[in-house]
Chains A and B, each alone.
Chain A
Amino acid sequence: MSEVAGSSGGKPMTDREIAEDLLAGQKYLSNYYYAPAILESGDPALRSAFQELHAGATSAAKSVFDYLHSKGWYQVRKADQETLSHLRNAVHQSRQVMNSTVNMGGTNVSMNQGQVGWTGTQIMEGQSGMGPSSVSQGARWGGESSWMSGSTGQFQGTQHQGGIPDWARGGYGAQSASTGWQGSTGWTGTQYGEGQSGFGPSSLAQGARWGGQPSWISTGAGQIHGTQQYQNIPQWAQRGFGSQSGFGVQEGAVSRQGWTGTQYGEGQSGFGPSSLGQSAQWGGEPSWMGFGGQYQSGHSANLPNWARGGTGFGQGGPGQQVGFVPGQPSLGFQHGGTQQGLGGMQGSPTHFGTGSWQRDLGVQRQGWQLGSQGNWQSQ
């Protein structure tokens, strides 16, 4: 294996590390820049451009993957029989649901609901029920899909709504015994399998764990404090109903949720103008963010920090930077660009590197230049 000493005199960087970092970078561009940009672009020409860029990034990622694979540095694992069995079961059950719905013309979906216990998505890799990422190598989730009702996996809805998850029901009488999103479900799905740099569907969330609720659920340890009618509905969907407060109420929700994974930042206010992020509250910080990343509500809680013009107290930081250092295997793909304001969104979705998400100690970069020591330095 060839090794190259970095110009900074740090740890030598191998060809493998270089390729893995490039793969991670291309994935990041694809997943966190271009994919959401496509969705958020209203201008057809710009949308088309982002689609082209997205295709380019995925194509580049494929090229790098092929190189890694040819060298034996990127092993793919075939699904085991248990997983395939669950997958087939899920397909079968899905067809049953669909057939029942279609055959009944939507007027009488009175199927054997006890058998709709969707287990395939939770137990298998590549879960389809939740989370933005559909593949999680090695992921396990022992619970049921959060939108499923009751411990028996039964839909307890009316006949008209039996095949519909609770959250999709408009009526008031179809709630289940389940509280929906529960902190005890121990979701480790999306992030769990993405722990290797350059591996898996996403380059984020390396080794991340989530044992609780998604960050956009505000109160309580994984419980929805809702009315009976809306127990299975995430809080953001319950705004204005019953005792729900939805987003924007809980000041500086603490990071007890421990979410460090992929979805933490996605769709969140401050991570980019995603439609999910309107008035979003989240308390922790994504894994690639610096410390103290609390998003607090306030007068401009609906705005990401970069969109705020006012002065803020988000961070001053001690001034250290953990930047892109040629020759370092864990080089950060850090260019900040975002500015801090009230709420202290620290960092931006612009960090990516090979080995780990590095904590940015507080300095954002607007521009870069290659310094005399081989370090990337802000201009």
Chain B
Amino acid sequence: MQLTQTEAWYLGESIKGETLMSQKLTSYRQMAQDPELRALIENLERACERHLSLLSSHVK
């Protein structure tokens, strides 16, 4: 099904949001001192990658 204008907008914004989140997570992982926080950030990075993959799959 072809995307509507609305859907396309949300897809685009979501991709940008997740991309920026991913960039932040990378920086934060390097900055974090607490190993627990670092591990948490790594998990979030993986989730972010999955989200981006899922979003991208809807862009034909």
Query: Contact residues of A with B, CB < 8 Å?
Result: 2-4, 6, 13, 15, 18-19, 21-22, 25-26, 28-29, 33-34, 36-37, 40-43, 45-46, 49-50, 52-53, 56, 59-60, 63-64, 67, 272-273, 306-307, 324, 326-327, 331, 333, 335, 337, 348-350, 368, 370, 376
Residues in chain B near residue A60, CB distance under 8 A: 44, 47
B25-48 to A contact mask, C-beta < 8 Å, 1/0: 101100111101100110110010
Interface size of B in residues (CB-CB distance below 8 Å): 40
Q: Which residues of A contact B31 (CB under 8 A)?
A: 4, 6, 13, 18, 326-327
Please determine whether B37 and A337 come into contact, CB atoms closer than 8 angstroms.
Answer: no
A41→B7 contact, CB < 8 A: yes
Q: Smallest Cβ distance from B19 to chain A, in angstroms? A: 8
* Majority secondary structure of chain B interface residues (helix, strand, loop or mixed): helix
Q: Is the CB of B13 within 8 A of A348?
A: yes
Question: Which among A3, A15, A41, A376 is the interface contact of B10 at CB below 8 angstroms?
Answer: A41
Cα–Cα, bound, A122→B49 (Å):
42
Kindly state the separation between the CA atoms of A65 and B17 in the bound complex, as whole angstroms. 20
Q: Which residues of B contact A46 (CB under 8 A)?
A: 3, 7, 11, 58
A67 pairs with B44, CB closer than 8 A: no
Q: Which of B25, B47, B55 has the most CB of A within 10 A?
A: B47
Which of B11, B17, B28, B51 has the most CB atoms of chain A within a 10 A radius of its CB?
B17
What is the chain B residue whose CB lies nearest that of A326? B27
* Complex Cα spacing A46 to B16, Å: 17
